[in-house]
Structure 1
Amino acid sequence: MPPRRHSTVRLIAVVAFSVCTFAAPFAAYAQSYPAKPIRVVVPNPAGGIDVYMRVMLPRMMDLLGQSVVIENRAGASGAIGAENIARSAPDGYSLLFATSAVLVTSPFLNKNLPYDPIKDFTPISKILAPVEVIAVHASLPVGSVKQLLDYARRNPGKLSYGSSGVGSIPHFDGEAFKAAAGVDLLHVPYKGVAQIVPELAAGRIDVAFPGIGAVRSFVAAGKVKVLAVLDSNRFQRLPDVPSVSETLPGFRAAPLWFSLYGPAGLPRPVVDRLHAVIVKSLNDPEIRTKYESGGFRVIGSTPEELVASMKADAAFTAQLVKSIGIKAD
């Protein structure tokens, strides 16, 4: 064998051996993972979004063969819980279940976040997205988005919409709707999201952008009307309710979804294992029915799709923040 060819073959062999040697521990680790209980941090108070994680928890534990324990670490708009995971070992035993507000919206509202939403986490899957709607008080003489826009244009500044505070998702939704429709609505900020729908039902505000689950009982009681789904597509559980894009083509609501993350550096075999478990859990007919009947779109994205969504939604949020004029604290 000529010397050069011999050197090339030897180099290839060395590289192949190095790759296999490097990959072997990760493969072995993934096969034995999980070997102990997994901790899932939810950066919100108990009884909040952890409720949605608990729906699929029994199925996940069956598939993983280990306990999965939810740990609520609320505070600083989710930053305390998120930082805890960002500083945890990337071994698959410490995970974060959070809304898009924690890793997409917060960076534009808090310039002193103790973590980088892209560099400090390993995306695993976008799991769910609550179905938001455009809702109005029952007395408002409109029955569609088009009629709402016509009424708002005839009565500039007289209609109000509620939010859970400046920089909240309902605030962003309201401002995005105003910009897309070219109408003037008065923003009424409340201290929390739980106040919005009761205030709408009482007639103290005219319009709101809540999740469908929060407004159903008020619709059944005849106090609130739902005009459209705040999305580009209709929701299969509400086939007769149009999407807002049917009246406002290209409209985009503020990002709102629930996802699972690990710390940065989480080995890909562990990511793949967790992702597969999530997808299998979401495809369980009973679990899917519970989520959809509760007003959620079931997603189960790949890690790559979640990364792309985070980047696109961050760019959109940056535009919203700039147009509203919000300054980071």
Structure 2
Amino acid sequence: MTTSKSEPGSYVEPGEFKRDTNYITTRITADGRDGYPVEPGRYRLIAARACPWANRTIIVRRLLGLESALSLGLCGPTHDKRSWTFDLDPGEVDPVLGIHFLRDAYLARYPDYPRGITVPAVVDVSTGQVATNDYAQMTLDFSTEWAEYHRPGAPALYPEDLREEIDVVNKRVYTEVNNGVYRCGFAGDQDAYDAAYDRLFTALDWLTERLSTQRYLVGDTITEADVRLFTTLVRFDPVYHGHFKCNREKLTELPVLWSYARDLYQTPGFGDTVDFTQIKQHYYIVHTDINPTQIVPKGPDLANWLTPHGREALGGKPFGDGTPPPPPLLTERVPTAHTPG
């Protein structure tokens, strides 16, 4: 077993790609039962626009309006085997935490931290220590434990009456799609790749059938399930189709999923968090075991993300009885040169 320098928190064996799923599972809760109570201004969300797992947290934070309660620090799109870094900031130092390597926040809590340094992570600003990097639970807690600080009109992304169904859908989307593309890209031999490829496209066919008659994955509004699927779909043609050899079809050749993805991309809080330039830089530069030349492709043309999708005909409203989020903060906007149009 060898640790993959490309993907902190994962490893590659001669066969199937394995993801290390042992995270810091401390939770930030309203009652503070794990020692980390929800307090506005106390924590900083550390993310990277390049990473699909971190992109989820940026979307959910935007949709719920948590900007004033939870600050955002952004790592650059590339890293080495040591850590994600704050190379986008002046002096390559996070202006709040005062560190260059995200690993410093991990080591501040666990001096012998043995695992990969991953984003997203939530850091306790007062101590400089990572509170949690459990990305799957993190966004659920944003919806539930941080409810006191949601904006007026925030959508119910994890409504109680739909949680069981959301959990079931999320489990399959995670194992077969979110992680499935990585299983293809980092397969250690032909048999492992073939099996991963078949599993991925079986799941995409299932999603196509599900979404052919309903606008969103669960219920008639956007939920946590849509956020989790979107961050993989938006990376599919720029990265996964070629770089990870997920090439039965492009997303643009899957009419239902392509329309669904454009519907979400054009929904405030989704597309305005996506930086296609950083996404491509991350995968093609960091994954030297797959792309040793580190050449970043110029394509594909992304202007088609802004074309009409026609999904309104299926009914449903993205925010239910709520409202769209306001435009992103000026300091958090994706550079226009990194977006379609």
Q: State TM-score, norm by structure 2.
A: 0.31
More helix as a share of residues: 1
Determine which structure has more spread, i.e. the larger CA radius of gyration.
1
More strand as a share of residues: 1
Q: State TM-score, norm by structure 1.
A: 0.32
